Chain A
């Protein structure tokens, strides 16, 4: 069988030979030991124990706990709000990334810095601030309330909190791509008579789409797991504005550990499926970046 030379080199090492490329650097066993010990104890043991517990529940109990109407309602509102937040962030993130990468204006560096604010700010503080700002008599809520738009203690509040906490993901994945991209290409299009709409659709969008998708999938994943920011603003009514993470918390407070485990496992498996998808999108993105 003929195998390309480089694949042969990379794959030919004996299966049990851990150190494949011989390195003169020391510290393999030490760092491998630390990494495996820490990963095992801090990350894998708890998740493994939880999955084992969930498997031990039996299918019937698992389904009753994780797929009853109240739990289903939380999945629905969590997914819907995360989708809204992600759609908003895809647009807002694109706007910020575009303005920061392409225009020079007073305050650009400040804007660049405060984009990271949602990551630096504790989620509970963000939730407290947003629920105050969007309350019916708050700084922003007082203008929205007469228009009949209710944000705090309603479903839009959940989406707002999710959008706030995950905005930097989208901006920070689009921004470097726009910075690397020469505006020559657009100008060439313009001199050839393309309209602005055509330039956006035919030149810009195809280039930045992988980055938008990569950022959006990270933002979506973060939104699904968000807890601190949301519980302050959501109102937390069952079947209405109760998110999955909160239902897990409520089940724990009721000492319903089986039910909490079942819902937590459902959320965890959904997150893993999403992570797989994100990795696929990101490897597409990476391939794209390398091509350029």
Chain B
């Protein structure tokens, strides 16, 4: 038999038996009930009193502050993790050295650590009776129950996201192009910017989207280290929790609708990036 051509996956249309109809029906029903209902509930509750009600609930100063703080945290965390992810991927895919596999495992450690546990760990380092606590107090620096603590905890939780997207791709691409560029006299930096980055740009975007989505939504680790001070250290997810427990459910749902919208935007961006991924894969043959 001739080898079949490798084509991008597309299910072949078959005649629709009852079994197929049943399975598709079950999947659609389950996706609708389990995945779509929660989103619809959020928007339905958030807009129960119309646009005016939504805006009234969102425009509380504390909620607006929380939106701003969440965006600031993301703006700090995403670039730092992008640099780290690029460094990890370059190191692990471009060199072979002792301890390489251990390093890969260490990079993935935050995935298996419960965010609450991560929060406790940070408290033990920077809290008032933590390792650096007395020193920080003497220097009059506040890390825990302040913005730096929130940034650190978010960095911990999201650190593997970008590295994990880059690692398999860069391993697959190999170093031929970079070697060619260097042998033609380009500097290391120029090679990285002109050869490596264009090749991995979609994987990098993909990782950044995942990192941003998780940073915006991180709750467990941040709730331990933030101290939940209103209008000071409350990120948007924490503000939702606080409003909900204050029995201000319209405020909670309005705030939640902002995050849900951001989540939907990140899904759309992900689809766009995936489409580009597939296209470049096709162009490369």
Contacts and interface: CB of A to CB of B under 8 A. Distances in A.
B213 interface: yes
B28 to A, nearest CB: 7
B112 A18 contact: no
A103 B188 contact: no
A46 B125 contact: yes
Contact of A46 (B42, B121, B188, B256): B121
Nearest to B159: A42
Contacts of B207: none
Contacts of A213: none
Contacts of A83: none
A113 B114 contact: no
A50 B263 contact: no
A191 interface: no
Given A44-B106, A50-B121, A23 B95 contact: yes
A113 B159 contact: no
Interface in A267-283: 267-268, 271-272, 274-275, 278-279
Interface in B184-232: 188, 191-192, 210, 213, 216-220, 223-224
Interface in A210-243: 221, 224-228, 232
B59 interface: no
A163 B33 CA distance: 13
Contacts of B279: none
A18 B97 contact: yes
Nearest to A126: B38
A155 interface: no
5 contacts: A100-B27, A117-B263, A123-B219, A129-B42, A225-B117
A238 to B, nearest CB: 17
Contacts of A13: 98
Interface in A159-189: 163-164, 167, 179, 183
Given A23-B96, A228-B237, A257-B129, 8 more contacts: A99-B27, A114-B36, A115-B31, A122-B219, A122-B263, A128-B252, A167-B35, A260-B120
B interface bracket (residues with beta carbon within 8 Å of A): 35 or more
A58 B118 CA distance: 22
Residue from A39, A95, A121 whose CB has the most chain B CB atoms within 10 Å:
A121
A32 B160 CA distance: 16
A139 B24 CA distance: 23
A49 B152 contact: no
Interface stretch (B49-57, B80-88, B134-142): B80-88
Contact of A224 (B40, B114, B241): B114
Interface string A18-50: 111101111110111011001100111111011
Interface in A243-290: 245, 248-249, 252, 257, 260-261, 264, 267-268, 271-272, 274-275, 278-279
Contacts of B236: 122
Interface stretch (A62-70, A130-138, A201-209): A130-138
Q: Which A-B residue pairs are the 5 nearest by beta carbons?
A: A122-B217, A225-B114, A129-B38, A228-B219, A46-B121
Interface string B159-185: 100000000000000010011001100
A264 B94 contact: no
Interface in B35-80: 35-42, 45
Contact of A50 (B98, B103, B120): B120
A103 B271 contact: no
Nearest to B108: A275
Nearest to A251: B120
Contacts of A34: 83-84, 87
Contacts of A248: 116-117, 120
Given A125-B256, A164-B38, A248-B116, A46 B156 contact: yes
B64 to A, nearest CB: 18
Given A27-B90, A35-B88, A96-B27, A113 B271 contact: yes
A25 B38 CA distance: 49
A145 interface: no
A117 B39 CA distance: 9
Contact of B24 (A99, A116, A224): A99
Contacts of A274: 112
Contact of B98 (A20, A122, A228, A252): A20
Nearest to B217: A122
Nearest to A252: B224
A149 interface: no
A15 B98 contact: yes
B3 interface: no
Contact of A249 (B87, B91, B224, B240): B224
A212 B33 CA distance: 23
Contact of A128 (B23, B30, B213, B256): B256
B155 interface: yes
B98 A21 contact: no
Residue from A96, A99, A122, A278 whose CB has the most chain B CB atoms within 10 Å:
A122
A268 B113 contact: yes
